[in-house]
Structure 1
Amino acid sequence: MLGGMRFSYAEAMTDPSYYLPLAQAAEAAGYASFTVADSLVYPRESDATYPYTADGSREFLEDKSFIEPFSLIAAMGAVTSKIRFTPFVLKLAVRPPVLVAKQASSVAFLTGNRLALGVGLSPWPEDFAVMGVPWERRGRRMDEAIEIVRGLTAGGYFEYHGEFFDLPPVKMSPVPTEPIPILIGGHSEAALRRAARLGDGWMHGGGDPAELDALLTRLAELRAAEGTADRPFEIHVISPEAYSVDGVKRLADKGVTDVIVGFRNPYVKGPDTQPLAKKIEHLERFAESVIAKVNP
């Protein structure tokens, strides 16, 4: 169904003072959600490569501003009423899951169920090191963290006895009145399998557009294999096709539920020089030319 496509506005690594007016502008223009980037620290030295740039370069990240996601979402939520916020993605594997559950439940409560929790592994070994978390077995650790976040944010007593985490029966208050959707990011086989098994959706990280169809096909196969194909599932995608009505129709036909759009390339060295007024002009123009025609 074409009319059901949702549009997410993506802006990151920009002047932090822009976020609140951008959230208000995106809400007014008809975007369903606003993605929020996560980065903890920038290491002076690293052997790691970035998985979503063609050459693996990470230098574009240096001196870029990243507000802690839950803090930023609470602030944007306070000046909006409808738009949803989606970390894209929260580096869950390096964080204590009980603390994430408390942060997520608090923000979802404060915003009236307007949090969709995008989570993933960090590609940076340095993130694990500075947070005191082992790099080894990080995927299984994240699986347990997802289960803990889901269990604690549901309300009531929850206990957990895993390989990495052991919780006696505990509960948190307040919790939101609806379950927090947990969306899994990543393109690896393990990430797709994790999304199929544990997630309420999958978040595509971009990259070569030609690879998207194969990822969607594999995700569908894994959901069928895990027996989860019939439960509600969000598919958030970055694609050049999202920028035209016909392209959105093609994505909808492939099962995509949400398209993520941005109007500048954030993967460049140096500060973002695009003024706030220009950003608002871009997001409003797209809303008029595409969103209004897809969702009249």
Structure 2
Amino acid sequence: MRFTYVESMTDASYYLPLARAAEEAGYTSFAVADSLVYPRESDAVYPYTADGDRGFLEDKDFIETFTLIAAMGAVTSRIRFTPFVLKLAVRPPALVAKQASSIAYLTGGRLGLGVGVSPWPEDFTVMGVPWERRGKRMDEAIEVVRGLTGGGYFEYHGEFFDLPAVKMSPVPTEPIPILVGGHSEPALRRAARLGDGWMHGGGEAAELDRLLGRLAELRAEEGTADRPFEVHAISLDAYTPDGVKRLEDKGVTDVIVGFRLPYVKGRDTEPLEQKIEHLERFAETVIAKSGS
């Protein structure tokens, strides 16, 4: 089992020392949230809270995802970084491919590219991208990013993206894992068909079991069940060694852990020192006892 530390919507000056502390404590990865803008008015709802309220996002610090990963990568040497998740459907995939390959190259392959559609229509509006057929656009974007980050010439002719034969340099020596986030049926099928893994956004234990079961069915249908596949999950089981073993038995490869509830309005008032204490205590009581 591998362990991912997540901290988001906190004081932006905390991220570099937290990355160093998580690496020193033995975490495999640091999950990085992605957010573009916060609208004054919106009817959209957040899909991973009970009431759908997104007010907790207002006035929270979000450093641009690739910029933050590059900065944390520069002060660490081993820990991996995983956007959780990058809103790929609203971004130009050729630019994402250049950003991702550059970071993977500079960090020695320490990037797992978590990607998602974005539940916010406003993200599409401000980026000048149609909300309609966003799923198909997302599928094509994944194919473009994978093709351009693989090295050699790549061309693509789809409904949304049309590329002549082009290549980028440098690219990492190993492929960048593309991890698809989302709980919907289209997201699960996208992960099964196009992804190197799936990222779970949290929820009840029974729902995680259902999602894992459905994902296995879809991978069988898509003919991808024999491929290596990462499963990143949020679960209360992740906070004990016995629970970690249960998750491992279900096929989870990476657990995502954090030590405060991020879905609250207002600034995060927890001091940096306390955050480091939390992540170090978990490393001592769980990571060190889980055979990782």
For normalisation by structure 1, the TM-score amounts to: 0.98
Separation (CA, whole Å) in 2 of partners of 1:210 and 1:277: 35
Question: Residue 74 of structure 1 corresponds to which residue in structure 2?
Answer: 70
Q: Are 1:209 and 2:205 counterparts? A: yes
Q: Are 1:177 and 2:184 counterparts? A: no
How many residues are matched? 292
Question: Residue 272 of structure 1 corresponds to which residue in structure 2?
Answer: 268
Separation (CA, whole Å) in 2 of partners of 1:249 and 1:114: 25
Equivalent residue in structure 1 for 2:53, among 27, 41, 57: 57
Matches within 5 A, 1:241-256: 241-256=237-252
Separation (CA, whole Å) in 1 of partners of 2:44 and 2:66: 26
User: Alpha-carbon deviations, 1:204-239, whole Å to 9, x = none?
Assistant: 001233200000000000001111011100000000
User: Alpha-carbon deviations, 1:5-43, whole Å to 9, x = none?
Assistant: 000000000001100010000000010000000000000
What SS does structure 1 have at the residue aligned with 2:189?
helix
Matches within 5 A, 1:12-161: 12-161=8-157
Separation (CA, whole Å) in 2 of partners of 1:258 and 1:165: 33
Separation (CA, whole Å) in 2 of partners of 1:295 and 1:186: 29
Q: Are 1:162 and 2:163 counterparts? A: no
Quote the RMSD (CA, aligned, Å). 0.6
Separation (CA, whole Å) in 2 of partners of 1:107 and 1:231: 25
Instruction: For 1:85, give the aligned amino acid.
Output: F
Instruction: For 1:67, give the aligned amino acid.
Output: I
Separation (CA, whole Å) in 1 of partners of 2:242 and 2:283: 15
Unaligned runs of 5+ in 1: none
Separation (CA, whole Å) in 2 of partners of 1:229 and 1:80: 34
User: Alpha-carbon deviations, 1:150-169, whole Å to 9, x = none?
Assistant: 00001111000001110000
Instruction: For 2:269, give the aligned amino acid.
Output: T
Separation (CA, whole Å) in 2 of partners of 1:152 and 1:114: 18
State the identity %.
83
Question: Residue 223 of structure 1 corresponds to which residue in structure 2?
Answer: 219
Q: Are 1:295 and 2:253 counterparts? A: no
User: Alpha-carbon deviations, 1:179-226, whole Å to 9, x = none?
Assistant: 000000000000000000000000000123320000000000000111
Instruction: For 2:157, give the aligned amino acid.
Output: H
For normalisation by structure 2, the TM-score amounts to: 0.99
Separation (CA, whole Å) in 2 of partners of 1:65 and 1:38: 11
